[in-house]
């Protein structure tokens, strides 16, 4: 363990530099941290120091199991041969079970209780680690190891089956997995918080502090403003976006992705890009993040905005302070905040006219023939074309929240038992007609389009709409603090990133999600989001 300890000391030494830039809001806490740090080897008992060593070792183990599992998942989703799920599922399930067993052992409980009892002697970072780990511990203790392993195994298999089901428009193939996943989620919700309605427990799990009581009026507010806006837009002439569907060779798109990552300041020595059916971001640590995309030869915007979106997730994880690495506090603090970052880069920056103007000359070099007769303004209008459609990940910024609403409604009812998994396609199609006015032709373009349920996640989707709302508030504050559009118009995102890093990224899990939101957004207010949408689409469509 000597090596680990040296390594941690080096990380802590680096902290001295990092915190100079921390904002006044946290200064007091940081000062406290420094005092505590200097006290570490003086005032503390042998016993406490030993417990802190154990705390570090525990967190490094958590990181290591997580990294092993991530590597297995990443491999399975990117380069693994098609018929290799069985062995991978077994490995994933056993490894997850091993970690679960270790983490939920009485020794962990004793360690965390001991440290909690000494919390006044701990610095801010350690105290928060102990609080979060204790919370995880209490929750995980309530989940029987066998169920946990079975769920890991189930979702690993379900993911593979979902791929085949989606490819073959075969919902029946996926149905038994969905049924089991719903049943597990319902059961797990009881373990998370037996006093809450099951879906509330799940919502809180993905975004601490949220519930149906929070989301219902949020979505109602969005619907109230967005549905009329969509109607108004629908009465206007649509821009021509046919050039987006010219033939854009995949090889050129790959090079374009490299360029986009460069513009975003994603250091390729630390960020990899792969290709998967459904794009995602997988972060090992703040020096090793992978994003994926999917290339469609006849749709240049699809991968372009996947790369920017996943790149936004990557920026968050890369921006977390070094001293939080390999601890419970590494990575983003919540799904909603993570999604705020991905959608910030994708929509607020990536689909803005200044950004498109900035990158267009280089973009034309990758696609000279395809874009010969296209202006930046035409491209901007095309990638912001607002029109009810079928696929969430390719939906425009305006109709997007309604895609999320469909999923929210279905999850709510699946979990409270008023909807059976077998009836998901019918309900899906009906809600798409009701909210978006579109007819779903098949399940491939309907309820099989997303990987989230196959991955075991129910309660995740709503955070997507929340993230967009956070993002609009961050932009407003950012515009108040710095010149956003001057540099972006020159293709320079460094100041945008620096602002987000200072307000959001570097904290990792050190603060509560609500505190990060307050720090970056001020008081949460969805009308800032709907105002933003109204302004943007009024300009685009001359409303």
Stretch that binds a second copy, among 57-65, 357-365, 401-409, 504-512 (CB under 8 A): 57-65
Nearer to a second copy, 288 or 442 (CB): 288
Q: What is the 3-state secondary structure (H, E, C) of 282-342?
A: EEEECCEEEEEECCECCEHHHHHHHHHHHHHHHHHHHHCCHHHCCCCCCCCCCHHHHHHHH
User: Is there a contact between 321 and 15 (Cβ–Cβ < 8 Å)?
Assistant: yes
Q: How many residues bind a second copy (CB under 8 A)?
A: 52
* SS percent in the chain: helix, strand, coil, step 5: 70, 5, 25
The structure tokens listed for 373 are 């007769």
The structure tokens listed for 390 are 């079928």
Q: Which candidate, 19, 45, 504, places its Cα nearest to that of 11?
A: 19
Binding mask 228-267 for a second copy (x = CB under 8 A): ----------------------------------------
Q: Given candidates 13, 25, 90, 117, which one binds a second copy under the rule CB under 8 A?
A: 90
Q: Is there binding between residue 98 and a second copy (CB under 8 A)? A: yes
Stretch that binds a second copy, among 95-103, 195-203, 214-222, 419-427 (CB under 8 A): 95-103
CB of 38 to a second copy, least distance (A): 26
Q: CB 45: neighbour CB atoms within 10 A?
A: 10
Stretch that binds a second copy, among 142-150, 242-250, 298-306, 428-436 (CB under 8 A): 142-150
Nearer to a second copy, 149 or 358 (CB): 149
Nearer to a second copy, 24 or 81 (CB): 81
Q: Given candidates 63, 214, 243, 296, which one binds a second copy under the rule CB under 8 A?
A: 63
Check residue 525 and report its DSSP letter. Answer: -
Helix/strand/coil for 512: coil
Nearer to a second copy, 61 or 223 (CB): 61
Q: Is there binding between residue 543 and a second copy (CB under 8 A)? A: no
Q: Given candidates 6, 28, 47, 75, which one binds a second copy under the rule CB under 8 A?
A: 75
Is 194 exposed, middle or buried, given 0-12, 13-18 or 19+ CB atoms closer than 10 A?
Answer: exposed
Q: Is there binding between residue 2 and a second copy (CB under 8 A)? A: yes
User: Is there a contact between 513 and 209 (Cβ–Cβ < 8 Å)?
Assistant: yes
The structure tokens listed for 38 are 């200097």
Determine whether 310 is an active site residue: yes
Q: What is the DSSP string of 375-396?
A: -HHHHHHHHT-----S-GGG--
CB of 84 to a second copy, least distance (A): 4
Alpha helix locations (H) across 104-168? 106-117, 124-142, 145-167
Binding mask 286-325 for a second copy (x = CB under 8 A): -xx-x----------------------------------x
Q: Distance (Å, rounded) from C-alpha 376 to C-alpha 361?
A: 9
Nearer to a second copy, 66 or 467 (CB): 66
Q: Given candidates 80, 173, 175, 227, which one binds a second copy under the rule CB under 8 A?
A: 80
Q: Is there binding between residue 152 and a second copy (CB under 8 A)? A: no
Stretch that binds a second copy, among 128-136, 283-291, 356-364, 464-472 (CB under 8 A): 283-291
Q: Which candidate, 289, 225, 264, 278, places its Cα nearest to that of 465?
A: 225
User: Is there a contact between 398 and 386 (Cβ–Cβ < 8 Å)?
Assistant: yes
Nearer to a second copy, 68 or 265 (CB): 68
The structure tokens listed for 69 are 């599992």
- Angle among Cα 304, 305, 306 to the nearest 5 degrees reads 95
Q: Given candidates 285, 293, 342, 352, which one binds a second copy under the rule CB under 8 A?
A: 285
Q: Distance (Å, rounded) from C-alpha 443 to C-alpha 465?
A: 23
Q: Is there binding between residue 354 and a second copy (CB under 8 A)? A: no
Q: Is there binding between residue 326 and a second copy (CB under 8 A)? A: yes
Cα dihedral sign, 387-401-329-122: positive
What residue has token string 């709409």? 465
Q: Distance (Å, rounded) from C-alpha 412 to C-alpha 200?
A: 9
- The single residue of 157, 205, 310, 397 carrying the catalytic annotation is 310
Q: Is there binding between residue 269 and a second copy (CB under 8 A)? A: yes
Q: Given candidates 54, 100, 128, 153, which one binds a second copy under the rule CB under 8 A?
A: 153
Q: Is there binding between residue 160 and a second copy (CB under 8 A)? A: no
Q: Given candidates 109, 265, 274, 491, which one binds a second copy under the rule CB under 8 A?
A: 274
Q: Is there binding between residue 271 and a second copy (CB under 8 A)? A: yes
Q: Which residues sit at the interface with a second copy, rule CB under 8 A?
A: 1-4, 7, 60-61, 63-65, 67-69, 71-72, 74-75, 78-84, 86-88, 90-95, 98, 102, 146, 149-150, 153, 268-272, 274, 284-285, 287-288, 290, 325-326
Active site residues: 310
């Amino acid at each position: 363990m000597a090596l680990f300890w040296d390594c941690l000391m080096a990380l802590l030494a680096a902290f001295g530099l990092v915190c100079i830039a921390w904002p006044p809001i946290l200064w007091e806490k940081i000062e406290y941290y420094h005092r505590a740090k200097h006290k570490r080897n003086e005032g503390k008992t042998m016993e406490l120091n030993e417990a802190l060593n154990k705390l570090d070792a525990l967190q490094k183990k958590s990181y290591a199991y997580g990294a092993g599992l991530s590597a297995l998942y990443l491999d399975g989703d990117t380069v693994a041969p098609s018929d290799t799920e069985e062995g991978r599922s077994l490995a994933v399930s056993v490894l997850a079970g091993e970690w679960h067993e270790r983490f939920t052992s009485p020794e962990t409980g004793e360690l965390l209780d001991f440290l909690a009892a000494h919390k006044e002697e701990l610095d801010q970072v350690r105290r928060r680690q102990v609080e979060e780990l204790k919370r995880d511990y209490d929750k995980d203790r309530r989940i029987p190891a066998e169920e946990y392993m079975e769920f890991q195994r189930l979702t690993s298999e379900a993911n593979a089956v979902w791929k085949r089901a989606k490819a073959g428009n075969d919902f029946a193939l996926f149905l038994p997995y969905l049924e089991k996943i719903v049943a597990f989620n319902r059961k797990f919700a009881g373990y998370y918080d037996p006093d809450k309605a099951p879906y509330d427990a799940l919502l809180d799990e993905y975004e601490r502090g949220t519930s149906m009581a929070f989301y219902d009026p949020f979505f109602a507010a969005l619907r109230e403003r967005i549905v009329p806006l969509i109607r108004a837009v629908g009465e206007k002439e649509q821009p021509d976006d046919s050039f987006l569907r010219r033939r854009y060779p995949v090889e050129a798109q790959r090079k374009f992705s490299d360029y986009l990552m460069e513009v975003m300041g994603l250091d390729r020595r630390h960020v990899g890009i792969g290709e998967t059916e459904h794009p995602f971001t997988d972060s090992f640590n703040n020096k090793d993040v992978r994003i994926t995309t999917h290339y469609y030869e006849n749709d240049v915007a699809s991968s372009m905005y996947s790369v920017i979106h996943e790149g936004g997730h990557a920026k968050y994880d890369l921006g977390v302070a070094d001293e939080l690495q390999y601890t419970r506090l590494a990575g983003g603090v919540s799904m909603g905040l993570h999604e705020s970052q991905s959608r910030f880069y994708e929509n607020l920056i990536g689909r803005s006219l200044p950004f498109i103007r900035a990158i267009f000359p280089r973009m034309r070099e990758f696609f000279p023939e395809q874009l010969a007769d296209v202006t930046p303004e035409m491209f901007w209008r095309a990638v912001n074309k607002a029109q009810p459609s079928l696929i969430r990940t390719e939906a425009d910024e305006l109709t997007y929240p309604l895609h999320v609403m469909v999923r929210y409604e279905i999850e709510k009812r699946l979990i409270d038992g008023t909807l059976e998994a077998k009836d998901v396609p019918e309900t899906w199609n009906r809600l798409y007609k009701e909210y978006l006015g579109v007819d779903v032709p098949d399940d491939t373009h309907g309820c099989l389009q997303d990987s989230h349920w196959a991955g075991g996640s129910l309660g995740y989707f709503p955070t997507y709409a929340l993230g967009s709302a956070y993002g609009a508030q961050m932009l407003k504050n950012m515009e108040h603090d710095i010149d956003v559009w001057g540099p972006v118009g020159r293709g320079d995102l460094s100041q945008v990133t620096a602002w987000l890093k200072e307000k959001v990224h570097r904290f990792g899990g050190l603060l509560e999600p609500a505190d990060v939101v307050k720090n970056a957004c001020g008081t949460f207010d969805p009308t800032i989001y709907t105002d933003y949408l109204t302004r943007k689409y009024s300009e685009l469509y001359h409303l």
